[in-house]
Chains A and B, each alone.
Chain A
Amino acid sequence: MVLKNMKLAVVFMFLLFGTANAFAADEGAATAKQVVEKFQADLIAVMKDGKKLGYAGRYEKLKDPVSNSHELTKIARIVVGKEWEKLSEEQQQKLVDVFSRLSIASYAHNFKDYSGESFVFDSEEETTRGGVVVHSHFVVPGDKPVKFDYMLKEKGTSWRIINIIANGVSDLALKRSEYTTILQREGFDALITKINEKIDNYSKQ
């Protein structure tokens, strides 16, 4: 009897442990597609409440979805190219910080209201260097759909967005040309000032 009970307890514990483990795995190891779709769902949700929330509300609501799905530190690093090595640690930290705020602000500004838009998943594709590209498009009622391709890289157990290509225009390439040009022509402080100006403008409209 005692033995049977113990056996049961062991089986029970095993089951419990097993399921707990499975749950943990589910949460940690979101696939690239899941990361993109979760972010798109969050974005659409904010758009639906967009008018009510106002800019500040949208910014607050998008803060976590953006920073959890995008690899902002790495993006900030890539957009300044080889200039990154020339920045002091303080400057690097400042750049990542300001850049993150700009990313969230531009979402909050550009996706401000809802008129039936939706994201549709098309396909998923592995790249040669271990990344994944998630192809999707953004359906705008009464207008041509916009192609959104997300480039993701694995970070720890999860996937993070490092580039978005909208209708063939790569956000990363665009920003990198801009940022490196400004760094070369005008220097670090000018770059930070300009980014802050953009964030200010976004918040005003």
Chain B
Amino acid sequence: MNRPQNGNRSVKMQHTFSGILIGVAITLGGCATTSGVEQQTVANKADPYENFNRKMFVFNDHVDNYVAEPISNAYKWITPQFMQTGVFNFFNNLKNVNVVINDVLQAKFSQSAEDTGRFAINSTVGLGGLFDVAKHVGLEQNEEDFDQTLAVWGVPQGSYLVLPILGPSTARGIPGAVFDTAANPASYIGMPVQLVSMLNARASAEGALKFIDEAALDPYVFTRESFLQWRTNLATDGKSEASDVDGFDDEPLDGNKGTASGQSSPGNADASNKAGFALRLDAETKEFEQASHSFSSVAQSFDDTAKSFEDAGAKLDKLKKSKKYAR
């Protein structure tokens, strides 16, 4: 029905923004946790701080309307299309350093080789990344980052958070973004390049933002849902979708279930996602055993890491619950 790759871009851009003000974000994100809980009205499992998030969303929207959008429009007006594409390719190429690191951390070794090749081709034949030559050789850009790596390791997504200026994120996305920024060469180049990077990000998000504007009845919810679904899809490499669909089957037809059914479904989805990650790791493990024994021990250690993360998650959940009851 719609063209979601645009939606992805907008999120991508907000992720790029996250590179710059991440320190501020974490402090403010901390504030969010305290102010949100008290005035919670509309219940949504993934979004317990909806009241705060909505305010931030409106704030970000104003900043975009009055600052980011005019500057971005000016950039698009004065810059010829081929230069805009070159700038986009350049920053996209630098991101591949981070992609390769995360390929390895997620034990996707063949993909990491492909992405290394992609980076090498575009950095040389593609004149430092200005031209996306690799695409024509059949090496598509992959989307990997630290948030996905943490997901594969079994760290739960945590609450949805709208950060000032930086936009949509999750509790897991914040540390993810810190690592991503550290692993991106563009972060170390300096101010004028950073500025161009931001301009590029906003300009490439134009289509997506326009699409949200056109399609969303409630832009806040629209952005939240598409962001969370997009992240889950990336983290599971598209394997979670079939089970997600089934969740809707006939549900509203038996209205007797009432609130109970409504609340239980997100939990189920969560569970199935977790199963998805576990499955992923399982499959990878098998592959390695066939390939080589040293690999299988790596996979084993990943498995163990995942388990310990999951245990930690469960403990945190318990703590949270006991706190709630104590109140």
Contact = CB atoms under 8 A, between A and B. Distances in A.
B241 A166 contact: no
Contacts of A173: 225, 229, 244, 248
Interface stretch (A9-17, A19-27, A121-129): A121-129
SS class, residues of chain A in contact with chain B: helix
Contacts of B252: 77-78, 80-82, 84-85
Interface stretch (A28-36, A46-54, A141-149): A141-149
A167 interface: yes
Interface of A: 77-78, 80-82, 84-85, 103, 106-107, 109-110, 125, 127-129, 131, 133, 143-144, 146-147, 149, 151, 153, 162-174, 176-179, 181-182, 184-185, 191, 194-195, 198, 201-202, 205
B214 A169 contact: no
B251 A166 contact: no
A190 to B, nearest CB: 9
29 contacts: A78-B252, A82-B255, A82-B258, A103-B1, A106-B1, A106-B215, A125-B242, A127-B242, A127-B249, A129-B250, A133-B242, A144-B140, A147-B238, A149-B245, A164-B1, A165-B241, A166-B3, A168-B241, A169-B7, A169-B226, A170-B229, A171-B1, A174-B225, A181-B42, A181-B218, A182-B218, A184-B42, A185-B42, A194-B217
A202 B258 CA distance: 35
Contacts, number: 131
Interface string B216-256: 11100110111001101110001011101110111111010
Contacts of A129: 246, 249-250
B248 A82 contact: no
B2 A106 contact: yes
A122 to B, nearest CB: 12
B248 A169 contact: no
A176 B247 CA distance: 12
B221 A195 contact: no
A182 B251 CA distance: 19
A170 B217 contact: no
Given A128-B246, A171-B1, A184-B42, A202 B218 contact: no
Interface of B: 1-5, 7-8, 42, 44, 140-141, 214-218, 221-222, 224-226, 229-230, 232-234, 238, 240-242, 244-246, 248-253, 255, 257-259, 261-262
B250 to A, nearest CB: 8
Given A143-B5, A146-B4, A171-B2, 7 more contacts: A78-B251, A81-B262, A110-B2, A125-B242, A166-B2, A168-B230, A185-B42
A202 B214 CA distance: 8
Pairs of residues from A and B, 4 with the lowest C-beta to C-beta distance, nearest first: A168-B233, A85-B255, A166-B4, A167-B4
A195 B214 contact: no
Nearest to A202: B214
Contacts of A176: 248
Contacts of B230: 167-169
Contacts of B2: 106, 110, 166, 171
A169 B233 contact: yes
A168 B262 contact: no
B214 A201 contact: yes
Contacts of B261: 82
Contact of A146 (B3, B141, B225): B3
B238 A82 contact: no
A33 B293 CA distance: 43
A82 B222 contact: no
Contacts of B262: 81-82
B225 A177 contact: yes
Contact of A167 (B42, B233, B248, B258): B233
A131 B248 CA distance: 11
Contact of B1 (A84, A107, A151): A107
A173 to B, nearest CB: 6
Given A110-B3, A144-B5, A165 B245 contact: yes
Contacts of B240: 168
A151 B245 contact: yes
Contact of A177 (B221, B238, B249, B250): B221
Contacts of A81: 251-252, 262
A177 B50 CA distance: 13
Nearest to A86: B255
Given A195-B217, A201-B214, A170 B1 contact: no
